[in-house]
Amino acid sequence: MTDWQELDKKYVMHTVNRVPITLVRGSGARVWDEKGREYLDFVAGWAVNSLGHCHPAVVDAVTRQVQTLIQVSGQFHNIPQIKLAQLLVENSCLDQAFICNSGAEANEGAIKLARRYGHLKLGGAYEVITARNSFHGRTLMTTAATGQEKFHKPYTPIPPGFVHVPFNDVDAIKAATTGTTCAVMLEPVQGEGGVNIPDDDYLARVRDWCDEKGLLLILDEVQTGIGRLGRLFGYQEYGVEPDIITLAKGLGGGIPIGAFLAKQHACVFAPGEHNSTFGGNPVTSAAAHAVASFIIENDIPANVRRTGAYLLDGLKALRQEHAAITDVRGKGLLVAIEFADDIGQAMLDACLERGLLVNRLKPNALRFMPPLTIGPAEVDEAIAITRAALAAVSSAP
Ligand SMILES: Cc1ncc(COP(=O)(O)O)c(C=O)c1O
């Protein structure tokens, strides 16, 4: 039998510490490894497989499109891209979309758009205020936007143009605003940085400040968008309208795609000022259109609210049983549990052994981000495994 993990070590750059299983197949919320072992998947490709694995809506859309037209350049009109942009615009508060390939590329584009806006309308302002513990991507510019020192360190000097302030602190944004500020960029709920949920009125107060100062409000909805928080877009949960949002992850249901959308006044790119060879590719656009249509037509956000609350309640009940759990927090199907000690890796391993895939968020925390289509039976199973894993890890010498 081929030792894929050995070949991986030899040929693939080691940029992530991998879990020692090789996944070969998926269906719904389940995946199978090369040995035929089944797992309940609460990682979902890092909050990507919004409809689960190999959902017929995605498979059909991709199959039809690869038999029709696979790639055209931005030089030509292409119908799947137009349909996707129309769907996103008609279901959001934004007016136009740019389709790209990933979350980092979407954020990179949004930052460029904000700078262009600064050049044209704010006397050359270029600085973007972002939050500590944010995560905006792995390109150099989105690394600079990310408010976590550990991501900057290996790549200094980091490009200038960002100021990092504490999350959920409007006064800090006010204090950091200067004549060179063009935008504030935030995740509605911080994902990678800890599943950090702001006060209910935080974004509305940031919106007011941006209005007062003429700044753009950019919401990075790469992780929170397309249903994850129990609304189609996270901003709807907080009753604000951003000037720009970015999307990726769940948008394609597993097919790589990103997008940024802007209100009319912020659509300031002129032809030639931004583009992407694969952006708006017919196949990925058709997939994303199928995913977003399915989510909208079947009111998947309602399932996320229901099932997310059930998951949160189940984990909170577990917390009552175990002093080892110090916090349970989340919104929709983006949920974290935190432990008193650094048992995140041991818990991940113990869950894996029992057939549940979870994400280690921090040394002392796990993140649950299953497909948006799961139901209570899968939640029950995940909680039972987490309970058993916790018993095993707690009793380990
Ligand atoms: C909020 C947020 N923004 C941006 C990104 C980067 O997205 P990608 O990995 O698709 O470039 C991520 C990825 O985790 C994210 O969570």
In whole angstroms, what is the distance from residue 355 CA to residue 31 CA? 10
Can you read off the two tokens belonging to residue 62? 């991709």
Written as one string, the DSSP assignment of 153-173 is: GGGPSPPS-EEEE-TT-HHHH
Hey, is 385 helix, strand or coil?
A: helix
Whether residue 330 contacts residue 307, with contact meaning beta carbons closer than 8 Å, is answered with no
Counts for the chain of helices (H) and strands (E), in that order? 14, 15
- Separation between Cα atoms, residue 24 and residue 144, nearest integer Å: 35
Q: Exactly one of 98, 135, 162, 368 is catalytic; name it.
A: 135
Q: Which amino acid, one-letter code, is at 4?
A: W
Nearest atom (ligand 1) to Cα of 137: 6
Q: Is 327 a catalytic residue?
A: no
Give the tokens for residue 22. 């090789």
Nearest CA to ligand 1 atom 16: 223
Chain segment 107-165, per-residue pLDDT in tens: 999 999 999 999 999 999 999 999 999 999 999 999 999 999 999 999 999 999 999 99
C-alpha dihedral, 382 to 361 to 169 to 144, nearest 10°: -140
For the Cβ of 187 lying below 6 angstroms from any atom of ligand 1, the answer is yes
pLDDT digits (tens, 9 = 90+) for 290-345: 999 999 999 999 999 999 999 999 999 999 999 999 999 999 999 999 999 999 99
Instruction: State if residue 102 touches ligand 1 by the CB under 6 angstroms criterion.
Output: yes
- Does 108 sit in the ligand 1 pocket, CB within 6 Å? no
Say how far apart CA 163 and CA 146 lie, in whole Å: 10
- CB of 168 within 8 A of CB of 205? no
What mean pLDDT comes out for the span 354-361?
98
Report yes or no on whether pTM surpasses 0.85. yes
End-to-end CA distance of the chain: 35
At residue 396, does pLDDT exceed 80? no
CA of 103 to the centre of ligand 1 (A): 5
Which region, left, alpha or beta, applies to residue 47 given φ > 0 means left and ψ of -120 to 50 means alpha? left
Instruction: Give the pLDDT score at 194.
Output: 96
Pick the residue whose CA is nearest to atom 10 on ligand 1: 103
pLDDT score of 189 more than 80: yes
Which tokens is 195 given? 């599943």
Closest-CA residue, ligand 1 atom 3, reads: 136
Confidence band (pLDDT; 50, 70, 90) for 204?
Answer: very high
- Is 339 annotated as catalytic? no
How many A from CA of 249 to the centre of ligand 1?
A: 7
The continuous run of DSSP H or E covering 11 comes out as helix 4-11
With a 6 Å cutoff on the Cβ, whether 103 touches ligand 1 is yes
Q: Ligand 1 centroid vs 1 CA: distance in angstroms?
A: 35
